[in-house]
A and B are shown apart, each in its own frame.
Chain A
Amino acid sequence: QVQLVQSGSELKKPGASVKVSCKTSGYTFTMFGMNWVRQAPGQGPEWLGWINTRTGKPTYAQNFEGRFVFSLDTSISTAYLQISGLKADDSAVYYCARGIDGSDYVIVYWGQGTLVTVSS
């Protein structure tokens, strides 16, 4: 079965960086793109963007260019999200998420989420 397993919770100080991993199994990694979504406490989900797992080309949502970087290690079927210059309002649960067959953007599989807390 399809599984997306993310790295554990992180507590970081403002200005620091964090790298979240998303290890996949149960399907061919390069057949589906990978979305990144975050959700702040009590808020709706917010799409950060998507990475083409065949070419490695990322697409960032408008508000997430610059400090947010998506990357891959296809040899271990793993996607990464790195955030630099962390701010308090980056505190959220970050999800990697895969689409259905036929649409990368209709999200049917989600990682368990990684809580990133930014606090001095």
Chain B
Amino acid sequence: ESVLTQSPDTLSLSPGQRATLSCRASQSVSSYLAWYQQKPGQAPRLLIYDASSRATGIPDRFSGSGSGTDFTLTITRLEPEDFAVYYCQQYGSPLTFGGGTKVEIK
């Protein structure tokens, strides 16, 4: 089972700034990696799958990259609604989630 480690735990940024979130897998997951956004009291929302494909309706300020063991989620210009917790998830075998990165307003 591949363990996912996300960094940093918390990212303090201002609206308009760029956010770069990291997810590292303990063993290769090829491109079987997704990113989710979660706000308090809500279920996670799919942003990116297959490492770099945006889900339906996701703005193009969200982008994903990487393969194998190292992955990145980039938010080019933070909007007020982007402050949330972000999780990576691998679905190579079996399915596991990372511990999350909180993007908070500085």
Question: Do A and B belong to a common assembly?
Answer: yes
Q: Which residues of A contact B (CB under 8 A)?
A: 35, 44-47, 50, 59, 61-62, 95, 97, 100, 103, 105-108, 110-113
8 Å CB contact of B87 from A44, A105, A108, A113 = A44
A97→B34 CA distance, assembly (Å): 15
Q: B34 — nearest CB in chain A belongs to which residue? A: A106
Specify which chain A residues have a CB less than 8 angstroms from the CB of B95 in the assembled complex.
35, 47, 50, 61, 105
Tell me the bound Cα distance from A35 to B91 in angstroms.
12
Task: Give chain A residues whose Cβ lies under 8 Å from the Cβ of B71.
Answer: none
Question: B87, A61: Cβ atoms under 8 Å?
Answer: no
Name the residue of chain B whose CB is nearest to the CB of A46. B97
The answer to whether A44 touches B43 (Cβ under 8 A) is no
B57 to A: closest C-beta gap in Å: 10
CA distance A113 to B96 in the complex (A): 19
6 smallest CB-CB distances across A and B, nearest first, come from A110-B43, A105-B91, A106-B49, A47-B95, A45-B97, A108-B46
Within 8 A of A (CB), among B26-84: 32, 34, 36, 43-44, 46, 49-50, 55-56
- Are B97 and A47 in touch, CB under 8 angstroms? yes
Q: Which residues of B contact A (CB under 8 A)?
A: 1, 32, 34, 36, 43-44, 46, 49-50, 55-56, 87, 89, 91, 94-100
CB distance from B102 to the nearest CB of A (A): 11
Q: Flag if A107 contacts B87 (CB, 8 Å).
A: no
* Complex interface: chain B residues within 8 A of A62 (CB): 1, 94
12 interchain pairs, CB-CB under 8 A? A35-B95, A44-B97, A44-B100, A45-B44, A62-B94, A103-B49, A105-B32, A105-B95, A106-B91, A107-B36, A108-B46, A111-B43
Q: A112 — which chain B residues lie within 8 A by C-beta?
A: 43
**Cβ–Cβ < 8 Å partners of A47 in chain B:** 94-97
Shortest Cβ distance from B35 into chain A, in angstroms?
Answer: 11
Chain A residues near B96 (CB, 8 Å)?
Answer: 47
State the Cβ distance, B7 to closest chain A Cβ, in Å. Answer: 14
Is the CB–CB distance between A95 and B98 below 8 Å? no
Given A45-B44, A47-B94, A113-B43: 11 more A-B contacts, CB < 8 Å = A44-B98, A44-B99, A45-B36, A61-B94, A62-B1, A100-B46, A107-B34, A107-B36, A108-B46, A111-B43, A112-B43
